C-alpha cells in the first residue's frame, strides 16, 4: 500500500492578504516558515521514504524545512505545480468577486486539465515508489483536485477549505486511491 501525506505549503503574504497565487511564485512569510517547522516536527514522529514537492518556492521551501528533520530524498515534480488562475492571479477575493462574479477567470487552467495533470502525477508516484510512505508538498487547488477526484466529489472544490500547512492522508490500496483524513491542522500552534 502506497501512503501519501499531502501537505499544503506554509503561509505566504498573498495567502494572508487573500490574494490568489496560482503559478505566481510567492515565497513563504515568517508564519509560513514556522508552519513548515511544525509540520517537520510532527512528521518526524513517523518514518518516510521520500518527499516530493511542487517546484514553486512556497512548496519547495516548505519541503526543505520539513526535510531538516527527516533527511530523506527530496524530488521536484512539475505535475504538482499550482493551478494557473489566469487573469485573476494576484487579485483579492473582493476584486475577483467584483470582476468575475461567475468565477470564470480568463486564461485559467481548466479543472479537467488540472485533475488529469495531478492524477497523472499520483500514478507516477505509485509506480516509482510502490508500497512506500511519501510526503507530497503542494498547493490548495492541487489538494482539492485530488480530494475531489478520489472521493467522487464528496470532498474538494466548494466543500473543503484547504488551510496552509494542513495534512491530508491518502493511500493506494486494491487498485484505487482512498482518503483517510483531510485538512488536519492539530500539529500547528496557530
Q: What is the mean pLDDT of the chain?
A: 96
Q: Catalytic residue among 9, 89, 139, 149, which? A: 9
- Model confidence at 181, pLDDT cuts 50, 70, 90, reads very high
- pLDDT level of residue 144 (50, 70, 90 thresholds): very high
- Asked if residue 140 has pLDDT above 90, the reply is yes
State yes or no: pLDDT of 2 exceeds 90: yes
pLDDT at 159: 86
Q: Give the residue from 103, 114, 102, 122 showing the smallest Cα distance to 176.
A: 122
Q: How far apart are CA 74 and CA 130, in angstroms?
A: 16
Per-residue model confidence as pLDDT tens digits over 49-70: 999 999 999 999 999 999 999 9
Is the separation of the CB atoms in 139 and 54 below 8 Å? yes
State what percent of residues in the chain have pLDDT above 90.
Answer: 94
Residue 157: pLDDT band with limits 50, 70, 90 = confident
Q: How buried is 20 (Cβ within 10 angstroms: 0-12 exposed, 13-18 middle, 19+ buried)?
A: buried
Q: What is the mean pLDDT of residues 102-113?
A: 95
Residue 82 annotated as catalytic: yes
Name the pLDDT band for 139 (thresholds 50, 70, 90): very high
155 pLDDT higher than 90: yes
Asked whether residue 17 carries a pLDDT value surpassing 90, the answer given is: yes
146-156 average pLDDT score: 94
Question: Domains plus CATH for the chain?
Answer: 2-17+29-83+110-184 (3.40.50.1240)
User: Annotated catalytic, 111?
Assistant: no
If you average pLDDT over residues 152-172, what whole number do you get?
93
pLDDT value at residue 92: 96
Closest CA to 123 of 44, 70, 52: 52
Check residue 175 and give its pLDDT.
Answer: 85
Q: Higher confidence at residue 166 or residue 103?
A: 166
pLDDT of residue 13: 98
Catalytic residue (one of 11, 82, 109, 149): 82
Q: With 0-12 CB in 10 A as exposed, 13-18 as middle and 19+ as buried, what is 27?
A: middle
Judge whether 67 and 74 are in contact, CB under 8 Å. yes
- Can you give the pLDDT at residue 64? 98
Amino acid at each position: 500500500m502506497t501512503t501519501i501525506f499531502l501537505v499544503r505549503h506554509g503561509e505566504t503574504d498573498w495567502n494572508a492578504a487573500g490574494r490568489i497565487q496560482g503559478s505566481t511564485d510567492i515565497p513563504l512569510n515568517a508564519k509560513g516558515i514556522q508552519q513548515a517547522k511544525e509540520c517537520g516536527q510532527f512528521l518526524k514522529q513517523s518514518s518516510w521514504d521520500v518527499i516530493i514537492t511542487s517546484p514553486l518556492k512556497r512548496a519547495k521551501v516548505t519541503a526543505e524545512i520539513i526535510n531538516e528533520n527527516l533527511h530523506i530524498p527530496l524530488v521536484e515534480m512539475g505535475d504538482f505545480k499550482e493551478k494557473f488562475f489566469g487573469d485573476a492571479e494576484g487579485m483579492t477575493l473582493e476584486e475577483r468577486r467584483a470582476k468575475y462574479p461567475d468565477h470564470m477567470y480568463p486564461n485559467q487552467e481548466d479543472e479537467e486539465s488540472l485533475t488529469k495533470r495531478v492524477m497523472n502525477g499520483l500514478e507516477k508516484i505509485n509506480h516509482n515508489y510502490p508500497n512506500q510512505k511519501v510526503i507530497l508538498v503542494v498547493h490548495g487547488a492541487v489538494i482539492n483536485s485530488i480530494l475531489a477526484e478520489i472521493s467522487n466529489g464528496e470532498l474538494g472544490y466548494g466543500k473543503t477549505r484547504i488551510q496552509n500547512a494542513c495534512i491530508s492522508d491518502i493511500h493506494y490500496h486494491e487498485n484505487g486511491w482512498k482518503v483517510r483524513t483531510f485538512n488536519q491542522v492539530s500539529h500547528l500552534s496557530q
